[in-house]
Amino acid sequence: MEYRKLGASGLEVSAVGLGCLAMTGAYGPADEADCVEVVRRGLDLGLTLLDTADFYGEGANESLVGRAIAGHRDRVVLATRGGLRAERPGGPPKIVDGRPEYLRAACEASLQRLGTDVVDLYYLGRVDPKVPVEESVGALAELVAEGKIRHIGLSEATPEEIRRGHGVHRLTALQTEYSLWERHVEAEILPTTRELGIGFVAHTPLGKGFLAGGLTDEQQLAPGDIRRNHPRFQGESFERNAALVAELDVAVADTGVPVSQLALAWLLARGEDIVPIPGTRKAGHLAANLGAAGVQLSANLVERLSSLVPPEKVAGPRVPVRR
């Protein structure tokens, strides 16, 4: 496994991490015992970065991760985040809450569920428009001083918010969607993180599974799969996106490398500061994802992949419209 440092912080992580969202039912039923074994198998393969959040399954995801790393804490760079909550029990995390008192309580609850005294990387899940980002980051900085957080990150923040937060306490990472078919961060966000020495953690690096291959029909998604409510997985958008990936699959068949590995290797080739965190519940998929760190792409192939999946051809917005 290749390892990378997130920005100027010195926090070293595996070049490919593991996003744990799917392990608590977000993409359909998941067997907890199998998911625990997937995490532990990943550790044996050199995986270190595990990514969860307190709003995944209303804390159930953190609890699962905590059980999976029990006895293995020293092998893990543990990342979680808070700042989003549901407006009702069992509801989706729609409310952004960056109040210092809320973040403190959220972090304390995460530590308990994760079964640890300290989180290696704690993200503000979203910047609260009602709370200055300086106040939210300041609250997390207090938790750093208390030894409950080692590093601070932001998620889905604007360049201005990144600069303002970084002015209060050094940010180690920004986590935002970035993939072969979603490149909005390249215009302003990546230049900002690079200027400030902040690492970039790319979530949804396989387009919620589209770039993993095999999705050809909406009915393949389980009834409880959150992607059924995502605009890129509905109707005509699904058909157009599936066709785009099918064309990509044919176009790169000569490489002998699966599209999923090429997509992750493409991200890794975009800069040493980038660490993708694909999610999976299957050991075989995890091994393939981690194996992408060993796939070396020529400059010509990087450019070829970029041209084969022009972002403007991807149908539907990248996030559902909040109602």
pLDDT digits (tens, 9 = 90+) for 192-233: 999 999 999 999 999 998 998 888 888 888 888 888 888 998
Contact 180, 301 (CB under 8 A): no
Rounded-to-integer distance, Cα 169 and Cα 116, Å: 23
* Structure confidence at residue 85 (pLDDT): 87
Helix (H, G, I), strand (E, B) or coil at 320: coil
DSSP conformation letters of 29-41: ---HHHHHHHHHH
Active site residues: 56
Give the residue, 89 or 176, on which the prediction is more confident.
176
- The domain at 3-211+266-297 falls in which architecture? Alpha-Beta Barrel (3.20)
**pLDDT averaged over the chain?**
94
Q: How far is CA 63 from CA 13, 30, 317, in A?
A: 22, 14, 32
pLDDT digits (tens, 9 = 90+) for 164-194: 999 999 999 999 999 999 999 999 999 999 9
pLDDT digits (tens, 9 = 90+) for 248-304: 999 999 999 999 999 999 999 999 999 999 999 999 999 999 999 999 999 999 999
pLDDT digits (tens, 9 = 90+) for 129-171: 999 999 999 999 999 999 999 999 999 999 999 999 999 999 9
Rounded-to-integer distance, Cα 111 and Cα 118, Å: 7
pTM of the model: 0.95
Helix (H, G, I), strand (E, B) or coil at 194: helix
Helix (H, G, I), strand (E, B) or coil at 308: helix
